[in-house]
Structure formats: C-alpha cells, structure tokens
Structure 1
Amino acid sequence: MHELPVVIDIIKVISEEAKKNGIKKVNRIDLVIGELSSIIDESVQMYFDVMSENSVCAGAKLYFEHVPAMLKCVKCGKEFEHRKSFVCPECGGESVLIKGTGREFYIKSFDGE
C-alpha cells in the first residue's frame, strides 16, 4: 500500500513538468527502482492506472529499470553487485553495503506530445 503515495507524487511531478513543457499527453514514464526499495512494479502499475485517469498521464506506459545494491569488499576493496551473497567474487572476503545503493526510486525520464 505504500506505493499509493509514491504514485500520487509521480503523477503530480510529471503533470507539473508536462505543463511547463507544453506537453498535453504523456506517453511513457521511465522509473528506476533499487532492489532494496520494497517498491513493487505491479502495485505501482495498478495504482497508476487508477490514479492517472483524467490527468495528462492517463494511458501512459510505465517502464521499470531495476538497479542492484552495490557491495564493497572489506578485504580487497572491490565493488560489485549484490547477487544473493556478501562474499567477494575476487578474494572471497566479506563485504558491506555501499551506502545509498539499492534504495533508489525515481523518475528517470518521460515523454509525450
């Protein structure tokens, strides 16, 4: 259910930007979602379809780009994508989450006419 306020904000931001740029109908919205963000594509899509009715965003297609959390090996310093393991693929050492990665959720771009 936490996707509802997010979707309301997406529609608000896109509508304001569309108005500033003279766009009457938004056709596509590209979103970036980090693997640790707990945002679910299907929920975003469902809320968007309902909440965007009668707005410039009505009927727009949502495209989701998923980005992984990034880890850094404590032993050798190698940075790598989280893939169900915190073991460094280079040296086998332990790793830690790189702060701010994997929690992204933002509008990457949109287009319309």
Structure 2
Amino acid sequence: MHELPVVLDIIRVMDEEAEKNKIKKINKISLVIGELSSIIDESVQMYFEVAAKGHPCEGADLVFEHRPAMLRCQSCGKKFPHTRDFQCPDCGGDSILIKGTGREFYILSFDGQ
C-alpha cells in the first residue's frame, strides 16, 4: 500500500517535466529501486496503470533497475554488494552496511515526445 504515494509522486513529477519540456506523451520511465527500500515492482506497476490515466505518462513503460545494498569490510576495507551474508569475499572479515545504500528509489530517466 505504501507504493501508492510513491506512484502519485512519480506522476506529479512526470506532469511537471512534460509541461516544462513541452512533452505531450511520456513513453518510458526508468526507476531505480534499492533492495532495502521495500518498494515492490509489481505494486508500483499496478498503481501506475490506474493512477496515470489522463496524464502524459499514461501507458508509459516502467523500467526497474535494482540496486543492491553495499557493504564495507571492517578488516580490509573492501566495498562489495550485499548478497547473502555480511562476510567479505576477499578476506572473510565481517562487514557493515554502507549508509544510504540499498534504500534508493528515484526516477533515473524518461523518454517522451
């Protein structure tokens, strides 16, 4: 359910961009979703299809790019994407989450005419 306000924000931003750039139809919107953001692609798609009716982005293809949370090894300092555990793939040391990674959700780009 928390995807609905996010979708409404996407539509608002696309309305503003369409007006500012004199775009009549937005065909594609690329979105970045971090693995820890709790945003679900299917829910965004479902809400978007309903809420975008009558807007320049109605019928636009949504393209989802997923970003992993990033970790930093406390022993050797290596940075790497989170997979299944917090163990460094190089030295086996314990790692911590790099603040702000994996929680992204934003519009990367859009195409229109």
Q: Normalised by the size of structure 2, how large is the TM-score?
A: 0.99
- Gapped regions of structure 2 (runs ≥ 5): none
* 1:21 and 2:21 correspond: yes
What is the rounded CA distance, in whole Å, between the counterparts of 1:11 and 1:61 in structure 2? 13
Letter in 2 for 1:55: H
Superposed, 1:3-42 pairs within 5 Å as 3-42=3-42
Residues in 1 aligned to 2:60 and 2:78: alpha-carbon distance in whole angstroms: 40
Deviation at 1:84, TM superposition (A): 1.0
Taking structure 1 as the reference length, the TM-score comes to 0.99
Aligned match of 1:90: 90
- Residue 102 of structure 1 aligns to a residue whose secondary structure is coil
Equivalent position of 2:55 in the other structure: 55
1:87 maps to amino acid: Q
Q: What code does the residue aligned with 1:85 have?
A: D
- Which residue identity lines up with residue 28 of structure 2 in the other structure? R
Runs of 4+ in 1 over 3 A off after TM superposition: none
Partner of 2:69: 69
